[in-house]
Chain A
Amino acid sequence: MADNWGYVAVAYAVAVVVLGGYWRRLIRRERELAILNAGVRNDGMSRSQQPSETAHPRSEPGKRHSLP
Protein backbone atom coordinates (compact mmCIF):
# COMPACT_ATOMS: atom_id res chain seq x y z
CA MET A 1 0.00 0.00 0.00
CA ALA A 2 1.19 3.52 -0.78
CA ASP A 3 2.60 5.43 2.19
CA ASN A 4 0.27 8.44 1.88
CA TRP A 5 2.61 10.77 3.74
CA GLY A 6 0.36 13.67 2.77
CA TYR A 7 -2.46 12.28 4.92
CA VAL A 8 -0.05 11.77 7.83
CA ALA A 9 1.15 15.38 7.54
CA VAL A 10 -2.41 16.73 7.38
CA ALA A 11 -3.51 14.65 10.39
CA TYR A 12 -0.63 15.88 12.55
CA ALA A 13 -1.09 19.45 11.28
CA VAL A 14 -4.77 19.37 12.28
CA ALA A 15 -3.82 18.14 15.77
CA VAL A 16 -1.17 20.86 16.13
CA VAL A 17 -3.51 23.62 14.94
CA VAL A 18 -6.41 22.53 17.19
CA LEU A 19 -4.39 21.87 20.35
CA GLY A 20 -1.99 24.77 19.79
CA GLY A 21 -4.87 27.12 19.06
CA TYR A 22 -6.62 26.10 22.27
CA TRP A 23 -3.42 26.61 24.28
CA ARG A 24 -2.93 30.10 22.81
CA ARG A 25 -6.57 30.97 23.52
CA LEU A 26 -6.18 29.87 27.17
CA ILE A 27 -3.05 31.96 27.65
CA ARG A 28 -4.61 35.04 26.03
CA ARG A 29 -7.79 34.74 28.13
CA GLU A 30 -5.79 34.23 31.32
CA ARG A 31 -3.76 37.37 30.58
CA GLU A 32 -6.89 39.44 29.85
CA LEU A 33 -8.54 38.30 33.07
CA ALA A 34 -5.42 38.97 35.13
CA ILE A 35 -5.42 42.58 33.92
CA LEU A 36 -9.16 42.92 34.45
CA ASN A 37 -9.12 41.44 37.95
CA ALA A 38 -6.10 43.48 38.99
CA GLY A 39 -8.05 46.59 37.97
CA VAL A 40 -11.14 45.49 39.89
CA ARG A 41 -9.15 44.65 43.03
CA ASN A 42 -7.51 48.04 43.24
CA ASP A 43 -9.57 50.92 44.55
CA GLY A 44 -9.86 54.13 42.60
CA MET A 45 -6.77 55.62 44.21
CA SER A 46 -4.39 52.83 43.36
CA ARG A 47 -5.98 52.29 39.94
CA SER A 48 -5.15 55.84 39.01
CA GLN A 49 -1.47 55.09 39.58
CA GLN A 50 -1.40 52.52 36.78
CA PRO A 51 -0.34 53.60 33.30
CA SER A 52 -3.25 54.87 31.27
CA GLU A 53 -4.38 52.70 28.37
CA THR A 54 -3.98 55.63 25.98
CA ALA A 55 -0.42 56.17 27.23
CA HIS A 56 -1.13 59.71 28.46
CA PRO A 57 0.98 60.56 31.50
CA ARG A 58 -1.02 60.76 34.73
CA SER A 59 -0.44 63.13 37.56
CA GLU A 60 0.25 61.90 41.08
CA PRO A 61 -3.04 61.33 42.94
CA GLY A 62 -2.02 63.78 45.69
CA LYS A 63 -1.47 66.62 43.21
CA ARG A 64 -4.89 66.37 41.60
CA HIS A 65 -7.54 69.02 42.21
CA SER A 66 -11.04 68.00 43.07
CA LEU A 67 -13.73 69.06 40.67
CA PRO A 68 -15.81 72.03 41.73
Chain B
Amino acid sequence: MTTVLGWLAGLGLVAGLVMGFGVAPREVTQGNVQRIMYVHVPAVWVAYLAFGVGFVASLVYLARRRPGADRLAHAACEVGTLFLGVNIATGAIWGKPTWGTWWTWDARLTSVAVVFVMFLAYLLLRGAIDDHERGARYAAVLGIVASLNIPLVHFSVYWWRTLHQPPSLLKPGSSTMPPVILIALLVNFVALALLGAYFVARRARVLAAEEEALA
Protein backbone atom coordinates (compact mmCIF):
# COMPACT_ATOMS: atom_id res chain seq x y z
CA MET B 1 0.00 0.00 0.00
CA THR B 2 2.77 2.44 0.99
CA THR B 3 4.76 1.58 -2.13
CA VAL B 4 1.69 2.18 -4.32
CA LEU B 5 1.22 5.56 -2.63
CA GLY B 6 4.85 6.39 -3.34
CA TRP B 7 4.56 5.53 -7.03
CA LEU B 8 1.29 7.45 -7.35
CA ALA B 9 2.94 10.44 -5.69
CA GLY B 10 5.89 10.22 -8.10
CA LEU B 11 3.59 10.08 -11.12
CA GLY B 12 1.49 12.90 -9.67
CA LEU B 13 4.57 15.09 -9.21
CA VAL B 14 5.58 14.55 -12.84
CA ALA B 15 2.03 15.40 -13.95
CA GLY B 16 2.10 18.46 -11.67
CA LEU B 17 5.32 19.72 -13.23
CA VAL B 18 3.91 19.19 -16.73
CA MET B 19 0.74 21.07 -15.78
CA GLY B 20 2.56 23.86 -13.96
CA PHE B 21 5.26 24.49 -16.56
CA GLY B 22 3.90 23.06 -19.79
CA VAL B 23 0.13 23.52 -19.80
CA ALA B 24 -0.64 26.49 -17.50
CA PRO B 25 0.00 29.80 -19.28
CA ARG B 26 2.28 32.63 -18.20
CA GLU B 27 0.36 34.83 -15.79
CA VAL B 28 -0.26 38.30 -17.26
CA THR B 29 0.49 40.49 -14.22
CA GLN B 30 3.30 38.63 -12.44
CA GLY B 31 4.89 36.75 -15.33
CA ASN B 32 6.39 33.31 -14.88
CA VAL B 33 7.27 33.86 -11.22
CA GLN B 34 3.60 33.09 -10.50
CA ARG B 35 4.43 29.42 -11.23
CA ILE B 36 5.78 29.26 -7.67
CA MET B 37 2.11 29.11 -6.70
CA TYR B 38 1.93 25.47 -7.91
CA VAL B 39 4.16 24.40 -5.04
CA HIS B 40 3.49 27.18 -2.50
CA VAL B 41 -0.30 26.84 -2.26
CA PRO B 42 -0.61 23.00 -2.41
CA ALA B 43 2.11 22.77 0.26
CA VAL B 44 0.01 24.71 2.75
CA TRP B 45 -3.14 22.73 1.89
CA VAL B 46 -1.26 19.50 2.55
CA ALA B 47 0.04 20.97 5.81
CA TYR B 48 -3.55 21.85 6.82
CA LEU B 49 -4.68 18.31 5.98
CA ALA B 50 -1.81 16.74 7.91
CA PHE B 51 -2.48 18.92 10.95
CA GLY B 52 -6.16 17.96 10.68
CA VAL B 53 -5.20 14.29 10.78
CA GLY B 54 -2.85 15.03 13.69
CA PHE B 55 -5.66 16.85 15.51
CA VAL B 56 -8.11 13.93 15.19
CA ALA B 57 -5.45 11.33 16.02
CA SER B 58 -4.42 13.33 19.11
CA LEU B 59 -8.04 13.44 20.29
CA VAL B 60 -8.35 9.69 19.74
CA TYR B 61 -5.12 9.10 21.65
CA LEU B 62 -6.27 11.17 24.63
CA ALA B 63 -9.63 9.37 24.67
CA ARG B 64 -8.49 5.78 24.04
CA ARG B 65 -4.69 5.77 24.66
CA ARG B 66 -4.05 3.74 21.53
CA PRO B 67 -0.36 3.75 20.53
CA GLY B 68 -1.34 3.65 16.84
CA ALA B 69 -3.19 6.95 17.21
CA ASP B 70 -0.14 8.51 18.89
CA ARG B 71 2.12 7.33 16.07
CA LEU B 72 -0.29 8.69 13.46
CA ALA B 73 -0.50 12.05 15.26
CA HIS B 74 3.29 12.26 15.52
CA ALA B 75 3.82 11.33 11.86
CA ALA B 76 1.09 13.66 10.57
CA CYS B 77 2.28 16.65 12.61
CA GLU B 78 5.89 16.10 11.53
CA VAL B 79 4.91 15.88 7.85
CA GLY B 80 2.61 18.90 8.24
CA THR B 81 5.50 20.91 9.69
CA LEU B 82 7.68 19.84 6.77
CA PHE B 83 5.13 21.02 4.21
CA LEU B 84 4.47 24.23 6.13
CA GLY B 85 8.22 24.88 6.03
CA VAL B 86 8.15 24.43 2.24
CA ASN B 87 5.18 26.81 2.07
CA ILE B 88 6.93 29.50 4.12
CA ALA B 89 10.23 29.19 2.21
CA THR B 90 8.61 29.29 -1.24
CA GLY B 91 6.36 32.15 -0.10
CA ALA B 92 9.41 34.20 0.91
CA ILE B 93 11.05 33.47 -2.45
CA TRP B 94 7.85 34.50 -4.25
CA GLY B 95 7.49 37.59 -2.05
CA LYS B 96 10.84 39.13 -2.99
CA PRO B 97 10.13 39.79 -6.69
CA THR B 98 6.41 40.55 -6.23
CA TRP B 99 6.25 42.47 -2.92
CA GLY B 100 9.86 43.64 -2.84
CA THR B 101 10.57 41.87 0.46
CA TRP B 102 11.32 38.34 1.64
CA TRP B 103 9.28 38.72 4.79
CA THR B 104 6.93 41.17 6.48
CA TRP B 105 5.14 40.89 9.81
CA ASP B 106 1.64 41.06 8.40
CA ALA B 107 -1.20 39.01 9.89
CA ARG B 108 -1.03 36.03 7.49
CA LEU B 109 2.73 35.63 7.62
CA THR B 110 2.90 36.16 11.37
CA SER B 111 0.08 33.72 12.12
CA VAL B 112 1.61 31.04 9.89
CA ALA B 113 5.00 31.59 11.57
CA VAL B 114 3.37 31.15 14.98
CA VAL B 115 1.81 27.84 13.90
CA PHE B 116 5.14 26.69 12.45
CA VAL B 117 6.96 27.46 15.70
CA MET B 118 4.24 25.70 17.71
CA PHE B 119 4.67 22.53 15.67
CA LEU B 120 8.45 22.77 15.96
CA ALA B 121 7.88 22.93 19.73
CA TYR B 122 5.61 19.88 19.38
CA LEU B 123 8.43 17.92 17.72
CA LEU B 124 10.98 19.11 20.28
CA LEU B 125 8.62 18.12 23.11
CA ARG B 126 8.39 14.62 21.62
CA GLY B 127 12.12 14.23 21.92
CA ALA B 128 12.54 15.98 25.24
CA ILE B 129 10.48 13.70 27.53
CA ASP B 130 11.92 10.29 28.32
CA ASP B 131 8.67 8.80 29.63
CA HIS B 132 7.03 7.83 26.34
CA GLU B 133 3.44 7.77 27.62
CA ARG B 134 3.75 11.17 29.30
CA GLY B 135 5.46 12.66 26.25
CA ALA B 136 2.69 11.38 24.00
CA ARG B 137 0.02 12.88 26.29
CA TYR B 138 1.67 16.31 26.45
CA ALA B 139 2.33 16.27 22.68
CA ALA B 140 -1.32 15.38 21.99
CA VAL B 141 -2.47 18.42 23.99
CA LEU B 142 0.04 20.72 22.26
CA GLY B 143 -0.88 19.27 18.85
CA ILE B 144 -4.56 20.01 19.47
CA VAL B 145 -3.85 23.58 20.65
CA ALA B 146 -1.52 24.25 17.68
CA SER B 147 -4.06 22.83 15.18
CA LEU B 148 -6.74 25.14 16.56
CA ASN B 149 -4.68 28.05 15.17
CA ILE B 150 -5.14 26.90 11.57
CA PRO B 151 -8.48 28.75 11.12
CA LEU B 152 -6.74 31.88 12.45
CA VAL B 153 -4.12 31.54 9.69
CA HIS B 154 -6.74 31.00 7.02
CA PHE B 155 -9.05 33.85 8.03
CA SER B 156 -6.30 36.30 8.98
CA VAL B 157 -6.48 37.83 5.48
CA TYR B 158 -10.13 38.72 6.10
CA TRP B 159 -9.85 39.84 9.72
CA TRP B 160 -6.82 42.13 9.33
CA ARG B 161 -5.34 44.34 6.61
CA THR B 162 -2.58 42.24 5.08
CA LEU B 163 -0.07 42.40 2.25
CA HIS B 164 -0.92 38.77 1.49
CA GLN B 165 -3.78 38.33 -0.96
CA PRO B 166 -7.06 36.71 0.17
CA PRO B 167 -7.63 33.05 -0.78
CA SER B 168 -8.46 32.45 -4.44
CA LEU B 169 -10.00 29.04 -3.91
CA LEU B 170 -10.79 28.09 -0.30
CA LYS B 171 -13.47 30.78 0.03
CA PRO B 172 -17.22 31.15 -0.33
CA GLY B 173 -18.41 31.47 -3.94
CA SER B 174 -16.84 30.33 -7.17
CA SER B 175 -13.15 30.59 -8.02
CA THR B 176 -11.91 33.61 -9.95
CA MET B 177 -9.04 31.60 -11.43
CA PRO B 178 -8.95 30.65 -15.11
CA PRO B 179 -9.83 26.93 -15.39
CA VAL B 180 -6.44 25.87 -16.77
CA ILE B 181 -4.59 27.47 -13.84
CA LEU B 182 -7.11 25.98 -11.41
CA ILE B 183 -6.63 22.47 -12.88
CA ALA B 184 -2.83 22.82 -12.72
CA LEU B 185 -3.13 23.88 -9.09
CA LEU B 186 -5.43 20.95 -8.25
CA VAL B 187 -3.16 18.41 -9.99
CA ASN B 188 -0.22 19.69 -7.95
CA PHE B 189 -2.34 19.53 -4.81
CA VAL B 190 -3.28 15.89 -5.45
CA ALA B 191 0.39 15.07 -6.13
CA LEU B 192 1.63 16.70 -2.93
CA ALA B 193 -1.26 15.20 -0.94
CA LEU B 194 -0.25 11.72 -2.16
CA LEU B 195 3.35 12.49 -1.24
CA GLY B 196 2.22 13.68 2.19
CA ALA B 197 0.17 10.52 2.73
CA TYR B 198 3.16 8.42 1.66
CA PHE B 199 5.42 10.26 4.12
CA VAL B 200 2.92 9.85 6.96
CA ALA B 201 2.56 6.10 6.30
CA ARG B 202 6.33 5.60 6.18
CA ARG B 203 6.98 7.79 9.22
CA ALA B 204 4.35 5.91 11.23
CA ARG B 205 6.07 2.64 10.25
CA VAL B 206 9.44 4.01 11.36
CA LEU B 207 7.94 5.12 14.68
CA ALA B 208 6.54 1.60 15.22
CA ALA B 209 9.96 0.13 14.46
CA GLU B 210 11.62 2.59 16.87
CA GLU B 211 9.22 1.52 19.63
CA GLU B 212 10.00 -2.11 18.89
CA ALA B 213 13.72 -1.39 19.08
CA LEU B 214 13.33 0.36 22.45
CA ALA B 215 11.06 -2.33 23.93
Contacts and interface: CB of A to CB of B under 8 A. Distances in A.
Given A19-B82, A26-B203, A37-B212, A2 B97 contact: yes
Given A22-B82, A36-B213, A30 B32 contact: no
Contacts of A37: 209, 212-213
A18 B206 contact: no
Contacts of B97: 1-2, 4, 7
Given A5-B32, A33-B213, A11 B199 contact: no
Give the dominant DSSP class at A's interface. Answer: helix
Contacts, number: 78
Interface residues of B, number: 30
19 contacts: A1-B97, A3-B32, A5-B33, A8-B32, A8-B33, A11-B39, A11-B94, A12-B36, A12-B39, A14-B93, A15-B43, A19-B82, A22-B199, A26-B199, A26-B202, A26-B203, A30-B206, A33-B210, A40-B212
Interface of A: 1-5, 7-8, 10-12, 14-15, 18-19, 22-23, 26-27, 29-30, 33-34, 36-37, 40
Given A5-B33, A8-B35, A27-B202, 12 more contacts: A2-B97, A3-B32, A7-B93, A11-B36, A11-B93, A14-B90, A15-B43, A15-B89, A15-B90, A29-B206, A33-B209, A33-B210
